[in-house]
Structure formats: C-alpha cells, structure tokens
Structure 1
Amino acid sequence: MAGRRAIDKLAPTAPERRALLLRLCAALSATLAPHGPLRAQTLLTSEPGAPRPVAILFPDLADPVRKVFTDIIGGIEEQLRQRVQAWPLAPAPDTAELGAALRRQGVRVVIALGRQGLKVAETLDPALGLVVSGISSLPDGDRHTGICLSPDPALLFARLRSLAPSVRRVIVVYNPQQNDWLLRLAREAARLHGIELAPLEALDLAAAARLYQSAFAAADNRRDALWLPTDATTVDETTILPLVLREAWDRAVPVFSSSFLHVRKGALFALYPNNTELGRSLGNLAMALMTDEPPQRGLLPLRDVCAGLNLRTASHLGIAAGPALQRGFQFLYPEP
C-alpha cells in the first residue's frame, strides 16, 4: 500500500506523472492476490471522485485461471473507458458488505464471471443490471444477459468445412440437461452450412461411452466428423476423451472441439475464447444496460474466438496445412 500512499501525495500540478504512476500501480496490483474477499482492485483509473458504474465479480483463483479473468476484465476496461472495480471473491464472501460497497461506489451494472460470480451477484440488489460470462452453459440461461464460453456452432462448422470440405455429417454426443440450448443453435448452423447434424443424447457417462462406440463403428471417415462440445457428462477428460481420440485416430475420423486443451491431445482443431475481445463484448452489453436499452435476454454463444490446429492430426487425415492455412490459427501444435 506504500505505493498507493505515495501516489496520493503527488502534486496535482503533475497530471501526466500522476496518471502514469496510477496505471503502473493498477497493473501491479492486478497480479497480486487480495487480502480479503472484498478487496476491490481498480483496474482502470480515472479522475478522483469519478463515478464507477460497473463492478466485476470473479472467483479468487490462482493462475492460470486467474489470468483468464484478468484478460476478460482488461477487455471490459478498454471498451468502457471508465473506472472499473474488480472484486475477487473468496469462497464465502460477505454479500451484505459487498452490496453496501457497491452502493457507495454508485454501481449500476454488475458483470459476474464464473459460477461463483453469478451466485453472488444473484444475492445483490435486483435493481442492478447484470451481465454474465465465464461459464459454459446455464440451464436457466434465458433469464440472464451475457455470453457463455461455448463457441458458436456456426463458427465451428465454418472452420470444419474449410479444413475438411468433404464432411457432410457431424456427430455429437451431448447431455440435453446441459446443452439443449446449444443443440438448438447447432441444428440451424448445420442447415446453413449444408451439414447433417447427428445428435446423440446421453444422461450419464456409461451411456455416452456406448454411444461413442456405436457412432465410430458406423462412421464413414470420408463424410463424417465428431464434435466434442463443452459437456461434463459426455466429454469426460479421464475416460471418454482418450477413448474418442484413440478411435478417431485409428479410423481417421476428424474430431473438433470446443476446448483448447483437446488440440494438444489429438483433436484436429478447436475454437476457444479470445478473452480480451470477449471482455469488449461484455463491456458493450454493460453499456447497453446503463443506457436503459431493453436487455438482450439469454446467454449468447461465444463469437470472440481464437483457433488452434493440431498439425500432426491434420497430416494424418491428409489435410495439407501449409503456411496460408496456418495463418488462420492462433495456436499450432506441435509448433512448426
């Protein structure tokens, strides 16, 4: 805190120096763990006394997860161009104290990141505007405004057609309790891209394993591909994923994913969040709420994405991933 006190003592006749030091202090504080559940971090500074109409709630987690949240917050700051308070949440924050602090700051909109951020935000003043993100799906998402972390199926299918234009059918095993909303979008996106969508419902891990085995047994690698959505039931990392990737490699069936980590493990490609651009989009939603525009109800799919490509898998499938194609991906594995 010594740095903060030193800043406060700067003479107002040195505005440029003051602004520079404020930015430096904010950048340094963003990398430090807070000392309590309600220790706000000012991540974008402004003139003293300026209103702070937006607050951001996010789980107090260590890197690398913490960096995801701070990158999103950075994008929100850039879009809003005004002072923002970010509140790292301990496991059991004092929501009454938080609510009082937000009222003192004149907050009008809360951006809740992650399930913990949403859980806390739902205990606050219902008059506050609420924007939600940092979650992959939400069963009651229609009553919220925000952007989830599941990539828009239209973007996934467009990327698939660019890499494997012979694909005509996409198989997906999913839990309707988690991803029924996503499959509604996927059906429309598949129709627009001339793809037949073959959705298979599984409510538990055993059912998912059986469906994958039967799907691979009947798959035609000249026209079929498999999509791994963000789904804890049907894309279990310990048992399901190794089975799927092994079968896909042996049968030369393209597998694409909504998880960046799957590219390293053998999926052909994945789309994953561009966290800074996602933050900008969340900032736009917050600004709409502050101008009293009718809120966009329902979680939107992620359209601010980066793309990763597995070059070894591409070669195995006979896809020529030359320099021109590689330029369309932000992550290549293994590094060329």
Structure 2
Amino acid sequence: MNNMNLNAGRRVRACFALLLALAGTGVMTPASAQRSDQPSIVDLPGTHVRSDVGALMDRIESGNVPAPYRAVTLAQLEDQLRRPELQASIGKGGTIAVLYPNVEEPFRSAFVSMIQGIEERTKLHVRSYPVDPRVDTSELNATLKRNGTRVVIALGRQGLNATTGLDKEITVLAGGVLLLSEADNVAGISMTPDPALLFARLRVLLPELKRVIVVYNPQKTEWLIKLAREAARAQGLELSTHVAGDLARAAQLYPQLIAAADSRHDAVWLPHDTTTVEEGTILPLVLRESWNSGVPLFSSNALHVKKGALFGMVPNNVELGRTLASSALGVIAGDNKRRSLTPLRELQTAINVRTASHIGLNLGERQQRSFDFVYPQP
C-alpha cells in the first residue's frame, strides 16, 4: 500500500471513530491509529474507550460493516465533520493542549516523547503548540479558548512561561522543568528525581551505608531537602545537610566533608542545584575528591555518571507524559483535589561500572542488567 492510501485509511478510521463518539457510542480509536506527521486538527471528546473498538475497525477495513453503518467516502465523512452541531460538540467537556519549547534536536526529542506518552494515556491525538520565548500569550490564550481547552500541560521552562497570560479557568500542569520550588505555586512534576527512589537504589548497591552528605542552596532546593529527610529516614539513613549560598562556600565545603567521610559508611549526593553542583568548577572538584578518597558519589543527574559519578537517574519521558495525562484527565473528570509540585518518579537509572570497581563494588552481568544505561559503554 502506498503512503497516500495508508494516510487516507488512517484518516477514514479517525473520522469514523469521531462520528461514532459524537453520536454517543463512546467508541474512539487509539492514538496510534490517528497519529500522523501533521498537526492535530480535532480533539476527540470523552475519555472512555470501548474494548471492542479494534474488532469494529477491523470489520470496517475489511468491508464487513455492521448495520446500521453504511459505506461513505472520505469526502462525505469530512463534510459531516464540518457540520456546526458536530463542531460544537468536539470540545464538550474540555480538551487537553500541550505547550512545549520550539527547540532543535536533541532537546526536541525529549518533548516529543512526553507528548507520545500523553497521547497514549488519553487515547487522543492532542493539540500541541511549539512556543518561542516571545510568544504572543494573548493570541495563544484566544486560540486555546476557541478550541475548548480545559487543561494545558506545559513542558519545559519555555512552555511554562507561555502560560502566564492564560485565563484562570484553564488549569496548568507543569512537566519537564527543573528547579521548581514551592514558592512557584505550580502544580505538576519537576524533573528532579524523587530522593526516595535515589536512596532506595543506593541502599541496594551499598547496604552498609549509614549516612548521605549533601550540600545545597536553600533558596533553590529547600523543598527537595524536606522530602530527602523523610526518604533517608525511611531507608534508615542519616541525611547530613550543609548550606552553601554561593559557589565559593560550596567549593570550600566539599573537600572538607569528603576528607572527613568514611568511604564504607558515607556517600555524597549531588542534587539538582545550580549553586552547589555548578558544572564548570564544582563538579570536577567533587568528582576528583570522591575518586581520590573512594567515597561514593551519586547524582540526581544521569549525565554526571558519564563523568564518574557512581549512579544517577534520568527521566523516562514517555512515562512522564502518561502521568501528566492522567492528572489532566482527572481535572476534566471533575477531580478537584489540590495538586502540587511533586518530584519525578518516572525514571531510568545509569551506572558507571568503572567507578563501581574503583570503590570495590564489583557488579556482575545480572546486576548491570538492572540498570537502563551502563557506562563506560563497551
């Protein structure tokens, strides 16, 4: 089948499913049957999917169409969709829109994966809007209202900034944004890994560990440290916290703390904190001190694993999209519970086997397979 016929088939499936949904049958096609490289032009109403939709679509495609449905052409279906009463029904109950930064690869792929997860959970091809730093928020607001948008999932800092001019009736859920604090009054999921998952993995790798050392800037990560204290307590660990309000203080603290640490019972945690885990000066310093002393170093940022940290965590972007979509569907369904900022729990883990071996931790193939990424790569 050539591409033209394939695309026409997909459009027929999408159009037929939409007509069924608008007729009150509650049947919708999966997002995979609707997805194309073009921007979405309709949002299907509702969230309930009938289990027999696959069989029905197979019968339609095979020509064995059940009564009372009759064969219609693609042009006739599209003409039906233009009817005012059907267009008025499309946004009934509210729709979901996604705002994401208009950036180039490789960054774009992360946001595309999040959108994929959103579509998989909602069973819809959601409306997605790439936004630039100077986006016209009033025009964007008008477009979203015209399309019946009830919930905006804002991805990345740029996507979140674009929501500042939106009507209060539109609920905003943030995702893919680092270093959000409670003061931001934003609901959604931070890109900062949940300390509970980090510490649980640490416990498995180093069961004799007793203390986690962290240097942080309270203005940026106080909310995270509160969660970390609870997470450490749950794992039977002591969380030793040290405040550094600037780069100079962080550079002074790390060598002192690592020199006084016990390599068998202590480990250093690098949170997402641009003051105390500054990439140009602080990170090389901490990596060097950790390697020379044998004190384990783990990070909230999986990119640090490539550079020598023992392990770190990275977002599972598709799963993050699914979780954000579930929250959005809850809003549309009338779930009025208070939503807040939560750390990231949709994660994959990276391990540096050379660092592990250096501190006396020999990981077999089975243990290595429990990680999503292994460095150095063979």
Q: TM-score range by the shorter chain?
A: 0.7 to 0.9
Which residue of 158, 170, 174 maps to 2:200?
158
Q: Which amino acid counterpart does residue 188 of structure 2 have in structure 1?
A: G
Verify the 8 A CA contact 2:179 2:192 in the aligned structure 1.
yes
Cα 1:205–1:45 change in 2 (3 A) is same
Aligned residue pairs total: 319
**Structure 1 residue identity aligned to 2:146:** R
CA distance in 2, matches of 1:10, 1:320: 56
Cα distance change, pair 298–314 in 1 and its aligned pair in 2 (3 A): same
Determine whether 1:241 maps to 2:283.
yes
What's the RMSD between the two structures over aligned residues?
2.7
- Structure 2: how far apart are the matches of 1:252 and 1:11? 61
Of the structure 1 ranges 111-120 and 301-310, higher mean CA displacement relative to structure 2 is found in 111-120
- Does 2:80 correspond to 1:71? no
Task: Give the C-alpha shift of residue 25 in structure 1.
Answer: 9.2
What is the correspondence of 1:1-336 to structure 2 with a 5 Å cutoff?
15=13, 26-29=35-38, 41-42=39-40, 49=87, 50-51=90-91, 53-140=95-182, 143-336=185-378
Q: CA deviation at 1:184?
A: 0.4
Distance 1:14 1:132 in 2: 34
Q: Whole-Å Cα distance in 1 between the matches of residues 272 and 305 of structure 2? A: 14
Q: Residue 137 of structure 1 contacts residue 178 of structure 1 at CA under 8 Å; is this kept in 2?
A: yes
Partner of 2:40: helix, strand, or coil? Answer: strand
* Contact kept in structure 1, 2:259 and 2:293, CA below 8 Å: no
Could you tell me how far 1:28 is from its partner in structure 2? 3.3
Segments of structure 1 that go 5 or more residues without pairing to the other structure are 30-40
Cα pair 1:266 1:313 within 8 Å, conserved = yes
Distance in 2 (CA, whole Å) between partners of 1:94 and 1:55 is: 16
Question: TM-score, normalised to structure 1's length?
Answer: 0.88
Ranked by relative contact order (alpha carbons within 8 Å, sequence separation 6 or more), the top structure is 1
User: How much does 1:130 deviate?
Assistant: 1.2
- After TM superposition, the structure 1 stretch with the greater mean CA deviation from structure 2, 122-131 or 289-298, is 289-298
CA deviation string 1:172-224 (max 9, x = no partner): 01111110000000000100101010011111111111111111121110111
User: How far is 1:275 from its partner?
Assistant: 0.5
How far residue 268 of structure 1 moved from its aligned partner, in angstroms, is: 0.3
- Give the ranges of 4+ consecutive aligned residues of structure 1 lying more than 3 Å apart after TM superposition: 9-20, 22-29, 43-52
Change (3 A) 1:306 1:11: closer
Aligned-pair CA distance for 1:83: 3.3
Q: Secondary structure at the match of 1:221?
A: coil
Go from structure 1 to structure 2 and tell me whether the alpha carbon gap of 1:286 and 1:45 turns closer, same or farther (over 3 Å shift).
Answer: closer
Give 1:13 deviation, angstroms. Answer: 10
Question: For residues 330 and 12 of structure 1, what CA distance do their matches in structure 2 show?
Answer: 34
Which residue type is aligned with residue 277 of structure 2? Answer: V
Distance 2:10 2:260 in 1: 74
Change (3 A) 1:304 1:185: same
Of the structure 1 ranges 50-59 and 301-310, higher mean CA displacement relative to structure 2 is found in 50-59
State how far apart, in whole Å, the 1-side matches of 2:107 and 2:116 are: 15
**Contact 1:288–1:295 (8 Å) recurs in 2:** no
C-alpha separation in 2, matches of 1:131 and 1:216: 39
User: What displacement does 1:228 show?
Assistant: 0.4
SS of 2:153's equivalent? strand
- Alpha-carbon separation, structure 2, partners of 1:314 and 1:205: 28
What runs of 5+ residues in structure 2 fail to find an aligned partner? Answer: 18-28, 45-77, 82-86
Kept in 1, the 8 Å contact 2:14–2:33? The answer is: no
